Amino acid sequence: MRNYSIYILCLLGLWACSSQKKETPSIGFLDAFEDATIAQARVGFMDALRERGWSEEDNTLRVLYRNAQGDIPTLLQSTDYFISEQVTLIAACPTGAMITALQRTSEIPVCMMVGPDPALVNLRDKQGNAPKNLFGTYDDLAYIATSVGMLRELLPNAQKLGVIYNQGEPQSQNAYQVISQKAKEVGLDLVAKPVSNSSDTQLVVESLLNEGIDAFFAMPDNVVFSSFEVIFKSCQQANVPIFTSEEGLVERGSLAAYGADMYMWGYQAGEQAAAYLENPEKGLPALSQTKFHKKIYNPEIAKQFKVEVDSTFEEIGKSKVKAKIGKQKASGNSFNSFYLSALMLGLGYAAMGLGIFISMRIFDIPDITTDGSYTLGGALTAILLLQGVAMPLILVAVIAAGVLAGVATGLIHTKLRINALLAGILVMTALYSINLEMMGKSNLPLIDTANLLYVFEHSLGAVFSPLLVLSGLILFICVALGYLLRTDFGLAMRATGNSETMVRANGVNTDRMKVIGLGLANALTALSGFLIVQYQGFADINMGIGIVIIGLGSVMIGETFNNLLGFQHIQYRLLGVVLGTIAFRLILALSLALGVPPNLLKLVTAVLVLLVVALPQINGKRNL
């Protein structure tokens, strides 16, 4: 009987705990990506709740936090997790998180912040009604138009305004439309270029600068946020000021902005959430527009461009910007700078192209690990540079990390007999989390951080120093790799890819050859990340997305060159890959220089690459 009493008491205790847990309201806070500026909204949101008596410290609220770090599948899974936990409400920041939450649930209230009027993202019906479970605080993007008007006031002689935007982001498209209309009203010629990945930012910005823009406008866009340091670097070299509508980008080097106070935006939304928690029966608060905007400027940048502001502007903290203004040197003719950038990016990607050549052409393995190992090399480089680690140790660490990534794929493929493509996908997926955990956030800027590429800056300048270093490193890699592939060991590797059965019959351990080959290929890919991060000045968690396509395209273009010239020697084939990576970047540069309409840029680039690759086939058929 005593045992039964104990069981009953335990069950009652568990029931009491679960009842208490259910009675405690819970909020699932969903961030779409990591950004220091956007993060201020969450701080304001939580402060508003705390001041109204809702906090985890007082056990009056349970908060579940998830950050998708710019990954849409993670955004969906995080939302589904909140739904499974039956949270009281979902706080969504910014637009992408809000849209995802509304798509996944129509019952749980969604509190929005740092987003536009729902009508701008097609979330209001014909009667103007927003979804029944949506409340919170929005803005109508008029502040972006005000920022463009402010630019005209501070730079009265400006004629051309440059912007980049992401065609895949609704908020970026909306901002672009607002900027276009306002620029036309104030007499500014708008030069716009699309960019979908932070890896392309530098070349696209250089293209804008090549068209003689007088100012650059950094719009609210994920790619702009993640790669702002490279935008700042290029604009500094060309002596072009940056304007924006985001306070955080003023801290990072923009001249001025008129924008929403992110902290107060989140605070206003937090007050609405608190009102709902206090009296759920009353229903959801009405959607409201954010009330707090301000004009801010960067005193260091204003002094640099000799721009005077009036007393209506609020000065950003000087200590936040001094380290951001590097010892930039003018690059001379912008036309030359544009194509030099394409050349140097091509050289930086050449190591990755050589890695793809080994996995794809030597072993006939489509290795998707590339997307992860490229980011791994870049992330590790940024982390160690910021910690002041010696460059030789960083280089060793990057190569070792790339080898481990490739070996992991090789072992999964050879020992577990899993398809090579799937093995690469598994390792690439795992590397995303590893890279993010190492970085601690989605983006690591490296402005004013000494690196290998600028070791000869004092004697050759900020342009030709990286060109010399990149050329020397790639030439050394080609020579070393060519020598390796001509040794007995290298011939065994090449034979494994050509005829695995025959090589195995001659006593060669083909599984070991594949593992070593994939390790070598990913070491070269990580080395490419090592070089590109130092050249562009930042590491981003999404920098490796789709990078394998660049590698494959480079290998194909390189083989086209070799076929046209009749080269089959392994050393020439390796040099062909290097030429292919350079040609790939130059083709993109040519597309930009031709003034291709933004919506057609990818199509024109694809057609140009197709023509280069198909040219030998066309000539061959004509000869027949």
392 phi and psi, to 5 degrees?
-60, -40
Stretch 535-562: mean pLDDT = 83
Cα three-residue angle 29-30-32, rounded to 5 degrees? 155
Q: What does the angle CA 349 – CA 200 – CA 191 come to, to the nearest 5 degrees?
A: 145
**φ, ψ of residue 307 in degrees (nearest 5):** -105, 130
pLDDT of residue 309 exceeding 80:
yes
Share of the chain above pLDDT 90, in %: 46
CA distance 540 to 529: 11
**Top-ranked range on mean pLDDT: pick from 173-177, 358-362, 405-409, 495-499:** 405-409
Residue 221 pLDDT exceeds 70: yes
Give the whole-angstrom CA distance, residue 579 versus residue 478: 12
The answer to whether 224 and 236 are in contact (CB under 8 A) is no
Domains 2-140+265-289 and 142-260+292-324 share a fold: yes
- Residue 558: the pLDDT is 86
Tokens of 349: 């990607």
- pLDDT interval class at 372 (50, 70, 90): very high
What is the C-alpha separation between 345 and 360, in angstroms, rounded? 22
Average pLDDT over residues 229-251: 89
pLDDT of residue 12: 52
Q: Please tell me the predicted confidence (pLDDT) of residue 330.
A: 39
The whole-number pLDDT of residue 8 equals 56
Residue of 173, 50, 181, 27 whose CA lies nearest to 111: 27
Q: Residue 83 pLDDT more than 80?
A: yes
Say yes or no to pLDDT of 54 above 70: yes
User: What fold is seen in the domain 334-623?
Assistant: ABC transporter involved in vitamin B12 uptake, BtuC (1.10.3470)
Mean pLDDT of 172-186: 89
Asked if residue 299 has a cis previous peptide bond (ω within 30° of 0), the answer is: no
Q: What is the CATH number of domain 2-140+265-289?
A: 3.40.50.2300
CATH code, residues 142-260+292-324: 3.40.50.2300
Query: Most confidently modeled of 64-73, 166-175, 575-584?
Result: 575-584
Residue 616 has pLDDT above 70, yes or no: no
Parse the chain into domains and list their residue ranges. 2-140+265-289, 142-260+292-324, 334-623
Selected residue with higher pLDDT from 336 and 414: 414
Nearest to 411 by CA among 330, 308, 522: 522
pLDDT band for position 379 (cuts 50, 70, 90): very high
Question: Where would I find the H helices in 188-333?
Answer: 201-210, 222-226, 228-237, 247-251, 262-278, 299-304
Percent of the chain with pLDDT over 70: 90
Query: Can you give the C-alpha Rg of the chain in angstroms?
Result: 27
Instruction: Give pLDDT tens digits for 324-355.
Output: 444 343 344 444 567 788 888 899 999 999 99
